[in-house]
């Protein structure tokens, strides 16, 4: 190398001072529109799976250690929960049963006064609320949140508007930490290192993360300080190394157990029982295999009863002949019957009787420890008790309805950012069980007699949004739906009633012989028919078997 060439070389210090590594890395990995690493469909798919599925094989010793120190084992217990959901159908059904229970039927009120309801201001804000409810599929999104809460205890996500729709985008829980509280729940911080992993595209996340990533990486964190006591809306200005406090207008945290900040799966106490499922399955298999086999045992007589066992060849038949007899017996019976020895006297058959289904009993006992009635999860030959089943269902509903408060607070906060003149407050109610819907509908309709009209409650009881009910009624009124109906005349109604009565009487006379006078009197007796939810097991059995028909009852 010549002296002239040496003069043109840069020193290491000059390279570090003059070269923009961030610009270089960004250009190498995809240009100005990307802040992370190289992208391929396989990498993106892999990272999407990593967000909410990181199961870990359960080892009993590791489970005991995690349960004994839960505060330091959050990720481990969450990984065990995900593993059980894959390997145990009982646990999967348990999570699914509770997740799909809530109906998320919505109603709302506002701070408007009676004279405000007909003003343009209220109508404008009401249109904003209706558009918000139509643009955000809260039932679908909140069911996903509920499943994650039951699986991992907490859900971290970002509320985003993409096009004309609002969605909740889930963040990887392993890169989130709960670091505060506010009036609507928990606050959390996010580890920006997530965006340095291969296959993570920062453009697929809210603009807030791109801005903070640029400040941390490109600017080297200059001017950034860690101040966790900032207001919930200003938390984005607080960061520590790669951890950034997420403001409430960007991210939200839902938690199943809001009284503690540790993230522990709700059903962690039954993990110790569920890990025995493969063992119990194998034991049941061995029992069934043993029950399918039989043994034939016979005594081989001795030459002389007083002969001692030490005397050679003291049995009454030679081993060669005994082997031929055994082969002959085996050729005449099924493979499931094993011959221990043959012949010639005291033949006995040994059966391996099956005990009650051990595996089924194990599953029911394990599930029962969760507090859930097994008849609500899967069926078997165990007769359900309708009263106990209904009470157990009510307890489950009570537990899950307690989550509505968090979702209501979330909806109130998001709606308050959209309206300008009035504040709207949302309420969720109900479950998807038909008895719950029927009771809510009957309650709303029964208030009509007292002059109390609650159209939102009627809409909620039949699974509709308030705006949907209004639209249906407005369309029916606009098209004159009632006018299109052709009610029969009074004379025609009387004639039809007479004909119907005659037909019913004629059919009854053909089907049954004429009752005695005493039976005719008894037909008008008896209690009114009760709803199925109001009768017990004996009443249901009597109705199913038709035992009251012979005494003048109805089906």
pLDDT at 14 over 60: no
- pLDDT tens for residues 121-164? 999 999 999 999 999 999 999 999 999 999 999 999 999 999 99
Nearest of 92, 94, 95 to residue 368 by alpha carbon? 94
pLDDT at 21 over 50: no
pLDDT of residue 503: 74
Between 332 and 140, the higher pLDDT residue: 140
Residues 123, 229: contact at Cβ < 8 Å?
Answer: no
Tell me the pLDDT band of 22, cut-offs 50, 70 and 90.
very low
Residues 180, 186: contact at Cβ < 8 Å?
Answer: yes
pLDDT of residue 365: 78
Residues 165, 135: contact at Cβ < 8 Å?
Answer: yes
pLDDT of residue 323: 74
- pLDDT tens for residues 441-452? 999 999 988 899
pLDDT of residue 469: 94
- pLDDT tens for residues 170-215? 999 999 999 999 999 999 999 999 999 988 999 999 999 999 998 8
First to last CA, the chain: 107
pLDDT at 244 over 60: yes
Tell me the CA distances in angstroms from 433 to 97, 392, 514, 533, 534, one per residue in order.
11, 13, 44, 12, 16
Between 177 and 393, the higher pLDDT residue: 177
Q: Once rounded to an integer, what is the mean pLDDT over residues 268-284? A: 83
- pLDDT tens for residues 341-358? 544 456 555 555 555 577
Lowest mean pLDDT among 305-319, 374-388, 413-427: 305-319
In whole angstroms, what is the distance from residue 116 CA to residue 122 CA? Answer: 6
Residues 122, 419: contact at Cβ < 8 Å?
Answer: no
Which residues have a Cβ under 8 Å from the Cβ of 236 and sit 6 or more positions away? 208, 212, 244, 245, 246, 247, 250
In whole angstroms, what is the distance from residue 409 CA to residue 430 CA? Answer: 17
In whole angstroms, what is the distance from residue 290 CA to residue 284 CA? Answer: 10
Nearest of 187, 254, 251, 250 to residue 406 by alpha carbon? 254
pLDDT of residue 30: 45
């Amino acid at each position: 190398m010549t002296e002239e060439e040496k003069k043109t070389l840069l020193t290491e210090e000059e390279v570090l001072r003059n070269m923009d590594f961030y610009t270089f890395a960004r250009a190498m990995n995809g240009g100005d529109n990307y802040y992370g690493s190289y992208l391929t469909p396989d990498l993106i798919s892999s990272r999407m799976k990593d967000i909410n599925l990181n199961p870990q094989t359960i080892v009993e010793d590791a489970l005991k250690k995690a349960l004994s120190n839960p505060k330091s084992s959050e990720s481990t217990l969450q990984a065990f929960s995900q593993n059980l959901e894959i390997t145990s159908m009982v646990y999967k059904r348990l999570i699914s049963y509770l997740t799909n229970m809530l109906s998320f039927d919505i109603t709302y009120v506002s701070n408007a006064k009676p004279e405000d309801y007909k003003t343009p201001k209220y109508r404008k804000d009401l249109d904003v609320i209706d558009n918000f409810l139509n643009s955000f599929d809260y039932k679908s999104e909140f069911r996903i949140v509920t499943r994650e809460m039951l699986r991992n205890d907490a859900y971290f996500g970002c509320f985003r508007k993409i096009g004309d729709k609002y969605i909740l985008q889930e963040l990887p829980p392993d890169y989130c930490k709960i670091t505060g509280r506010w009036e609507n729940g928990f606050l959390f911080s996010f580890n920006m290192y997530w965006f340095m992993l291969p296959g993570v595209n920062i453009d697929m996340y809210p603009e807030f993360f791109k801005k903070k990533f640029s400040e941390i990486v490109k600017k080297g964190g200059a001017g950034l300080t860690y101040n966790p006591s900032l207001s919930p809306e200003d938390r984005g200005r607080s960061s520590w190394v790669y951890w950034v406090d997420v403001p409430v207008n960007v991210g939200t945290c839902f938690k199943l157990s809001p009284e503690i900040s540790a993230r522990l799966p709700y059903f962690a106490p039954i993990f110790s029982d569920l890990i025995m499922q493969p063992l119990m399955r194998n034991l049941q298999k061995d029992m069934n295999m043993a029950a399918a086999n039989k043994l034939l045992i016979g005594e081989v007589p001795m030459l002389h009863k007083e002969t001692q066992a030490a005397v050679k060849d003291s049995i009454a038949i030679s081993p060669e002949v005994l082997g031929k007899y055994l082969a002959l017996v085996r050729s005449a019976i099924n493979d499931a019957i094993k011959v221990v020895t043959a012949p010639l006297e005291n033949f006995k058959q040994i059966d391996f009787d099956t005990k009650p289904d051990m595996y089924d009993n194990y599953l029911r006992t394990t599930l029962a420890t969760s507090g859930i009635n097994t008849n609500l999860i899967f069926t078997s030959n165990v007769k359900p008790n309708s009263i106990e089943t209904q009470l157990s269902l009510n307890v489950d509903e009570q537990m899950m309805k307690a989550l509505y408060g968090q979702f209501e607070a979330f909806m109130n906060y998001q709606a308050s950012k959209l309206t300008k003149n009035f504040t709207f407050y949302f309420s969720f109610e109900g479950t998807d069980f038909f008895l719950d819907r029927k009771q809510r509908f009957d309650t709303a309709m029964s208030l009509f007699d007292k002059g109390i009209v609650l159209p939102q409650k009627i809409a909620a009881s039949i699974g509709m949004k308030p705006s949907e009910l209004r639209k249906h009624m407005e369309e029916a009124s606009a098209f004159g739906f009632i006018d299109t109906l052709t009610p029969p005349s009074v004379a025609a109604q009387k004639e039809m009633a007479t004909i119907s009565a005659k037909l019913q009487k004629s059919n009854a006379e053909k089907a049954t012989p004429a009752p005695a006078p005493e039976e005719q009197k008894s037909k008008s007796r008896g209690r009114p028919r009760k709803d199925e939810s109001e009768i017990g097991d004996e009443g249901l059995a009597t109705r199913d078997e038709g035992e009251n028909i012979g005494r003048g009852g109805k089906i």
